[in-house]
Chains A and B, each alone.
Chain A
Amino acid sequence: MTKYLLLKHYRGAPEAVNAVPMDQWTPEEVEDHLQFMADFAARLESTGEYVDGQALSPEGTFVRYDGEGRPPVTDGPFAETKDLIAGWMVIDVDTYERALALAGELSAAPGAGGKPIHEWLEVRPFLSAPPTVTE
């Protein structure tokens, strides 16, 4: 089993096919989308492949160390930053192909007009602990 991170972006991913923002959907379309997301997570839980899922607020701040005895420097949010993470789902699956298939299904979540959003999701494998048997 390998763990994969399915990353959803507010910004930084290529534009989705059906990119109409949610506040321009009908209430039924919003409902259908939320139901799809809940069903998807529930199905992965039932197959024993779901690990975690979280959503992030769009606001963030960059912070860095500024030397002994000084408070950390904060800056941002930077408008020019290309990447903005919206949330993630962690799955634990047998193969890379399975991870891709699930990400594909998640990207088919319905949006405006009840049609799939075709949103670009990023699939990233976790670096795992070294195996016991190495030879």
Chain B
Amino acid sequence: MTGPAKADQVMDELLLRELTPAVIGVLVQRGVDFATAEDAVQEALIQAALTWPDRQPADPKGWLVTVAWRKFLDARRSEVSRRDREQRVEAEPPPGPTETADDTLQLFFLCAHPSLTPASAVALTLRAVGGLTTRQIAQAYLVPEATMARRISRAKRTVGDVRFKEPGDLATVLRVLYLVFNEGYTGDVDLAAEAIRLTRQLASMTDDEETAGLLALMLLHHARRPARARRDGSLVPLAEQDRSRWDTSLIAEGVAILQTALGRDRLGEFQAQAAIAALHADAPRAEETDWVQIVGWYDELLRLTESPVVQLNRAIAIGEADGPVAGLAALATVDPGLPRHTAASAYLHEKAGDLLTAARLYADAARSAPNLAERHHLSRQAARISQALRG
């Protein structure tokens, strides 16, 4: 297979995924319940993936609607014959309104319905709104495909009685998209990029500052990705990243979106987090970071969330703005059982010149690190300081 043909296939897949929620919307408008419509569209997507590489239809959406409708009728027919009913189904779709952007928004709400657990909402959103296959989602979250398939069908049963037009809660949708962005693993699907694509779509359909704030936050963090890991996968801390490798166009877009949102003076959690990311992006060198302003944003964030994680990050920022002693004083008020508390304490002790304590704390932190990349990073810090002490 040649390069260009492969590129075409990639484009086809993205087009398929972009059309997915709209096609589900058409079927729901025709009176099909969400779970059945979603199944029919998933089958149509699988058929498209098989046939489009050879010949892409002139009207991809029309093709998908037609095939999904046929899949639905096939499913209903076999259901009807299985139950041995006499009644025949109509072969022609009833006339109905065509899909609108509202349908896609309703799908976002339904897939992030508060009755769903976060893991279920993430899976359902990626399938019904993101147009990913069950196999792709399973690979991305490192679980067997059968497990992911059951998780998705359970989720569909859970929202089975929710009316499609029921007013939804944007905050839960944002929470789900944030999870996709922040807790995605690797597979052949780039979940961070997928989260950005979906958040962009959501932002285009809503007039909401926090949606804009979340989009800005994602763009600003995604901009750092080329500098965040070494070739072997190990973490590069923010202060040591090669900032020339940050993606300046993503930063510019994120900052512009954030400024518009902040200008409307309805601050929320995601806008405040994005503001912190923007201040980091703004510093050409780590030493030029405006830590005083960053502490100010952490204060705002704390008023909005009271989250202990924010308290921890604020203590580190205070350590940078006002010195390690002030940072340690702020850290003393934070729950010591919190993940990364020991690592933060090690960092501040090193800055304060107490290398002995810092080395011990880094070694402790490495043992309790929540992931291998952090464990390795903290082990390296412990080794570096121990060597300096022996020096």
Which residues of A are in contact with B by a Cβ distance under 8 Å? 21-27, 29-31, 34-35, 38, 55, 57-59
Asked whether any CB of chain A lies closer than 8 Å to the CB of B110, the reply is no
Q: By DSSP majority rule, is chain A's interface helix, strand, loop, or mixed? A: helix
Per-residue CB contact flags for chain B residues 227-239 toward chain A (1 = under 8 Å, else 0) read 0000011100000
Docked complex Cα distance between A34 and B384 (Å): 15
Residues in B with CB closer than 8 Å to A55 are 372, 375
Central interface residue in A23, A24, A35, A38, by most chain B CB within 10 Å: A23
Q: B375 — nearest CB in chain A belongs to which residue? A: A55
Please state if A26 and B232 are interface contacts (CB–CB under 8 Å): no
Q: A39 — nearest CB in chain B belongs to which residue? A: B232
Stretch of B31-39, B158-166, B273-281, B358-366 with 4 or more beta carbons under 8 angstroms from chain A: B358-366
Docked complex Cα distance between A92 and B379 (Å): 31
- A55-B372, A58-B367 known; A22+B232 contact, CB < 8 A: no
The listed residue (B232, B366, B372) touching A23 by CB distance below 8 A is: B366
Please state if B383 and A29 are interface contacts (CB–CB under 8 Å): yes
Interface residues of B in 332-391 (CB under 8 A from A): 359, 362-363, 366-368, 370, 372, 375-376, 379-380, 382-384, 386-387
Residues in A with CB closer than 8 Å to B383 are 22-27, 29-30
Docked complex Cα distance between A79 and B363 (Å): 20
Residues in A with CB closer than 8 Å to B234 are 34
Q: List 6 contacting pairs A-B, 8 Å CB cutoff, sorted by A.
A: A22-B366, A23-B379, A25-B386, A30-B383, A31-B380, A57-B370
Q: A24 — nearest CB in chain B belongs to which residue? A: B386
Please state if B368 and A59 are interface contacts (CB–CB under 8 Å): yes
Q: A58 — nearest CB in chain B belongs to which residue? A: B367
- A30-B379, A34-B234 known; A23+B368 contact, CB < 8 A: no
Please state if B387 and A23 are interface contacts (CB–CB under 8 Å): no
Q: By DSSP majority rule, is chain B's interface helix, strand, loop, or mixed? A: helix
Residues in B with CB closer than 8 Å to A21 are 363
Residues in B with CB closer than 8 Å to A57 are 368, 370
Residues in A with CB closer than 8 Å to B368 are 57-59
Per-residue CB contact flags for chain B residues 91-113 toward chain A (1 = under 8 Å, else 0) read 00000000000000000000000
A-B residue pairs, 3 tightest by C-beta? A23-B363, A23-B382, A30-B383
Please state if A27 and B232 are interface contacts (CB–CB under 8 Å): no
Residues in B with CB closer than 8 Å to A23 are 359, 362-363, 366, 379, 382-383, 386
Docked complex Cα distance between A29 and B376 (Å): 12
Docked complex Cα distance between A59 and B384 (Å): 26
Q: A30 — nearest CB in chain B belongs to which residue? A: B383
Residues in A with CB closer than 8 Å to B359 are 23
The listed residue (B367, B370, B376, B387) touching A34 by CB distance below 8 A is: B376
Residues in A with CB closer than 8 Å to B370 are 57
Docked complex Cα distance between A21 and B370 (Å): 20
Docked complex Cα distance between A77 and B380 (Å): 28
> A10 to nearest B CB, angstroms?
9
Residues in A with CB closer than 8 Å to B382 are 22-23
Q: B376 — nearest CB in chain A belongs to which residue? A: A34
> A31 to nearest B CB, angstroms?
7
Known: A34-B376, A58-B367, A58-B368. 11 other contacts (CB 8 A): A21-B363, A23-B363, A23-B379, A23-B382, A24-B386, A25-B386, A27-B380, A29-B383, A30-B376, A30-B379, A38-B232
Docked complex Cα distance between A4 and B375 (Å): 26
The listed residue (B232, B362, B363) touching A35 by CB distance below 8 A is: B232
Q: B233 — nearest CB in chain A belongs to which residue? A: A38
Docked complex Cα distance between A24 and B368 (Å): 17
Residues in B with CB closer than 8 Å to A38 are 232-233
- A34-B234, A38-B232, A58-B367 known; A27+B384 contact, CB < 8 A: yes
Central interface residue in B363, B383, B386, B387, by most chain A CB within 10 Å: B383
Per-residue CB contact flags for chain B residues 12-47 toward chain A (1 = under 8 Å, else 0) read 000000000000000000000000000000000000
Q: A54 — nearest CB in chain B belongs to which residue? A: B372
> A131 to nearest B CB, angstroms?
24
Docked complex Cα distance between A55 and B382 (Å): 20
Please state if A27 and B372 are interface contacts (CB–CB under 8 Å): no
Q: B388 — nearest CB in chain A belongs to which residue? A: A27
> B8 to nearest A CB, angstroms?
30
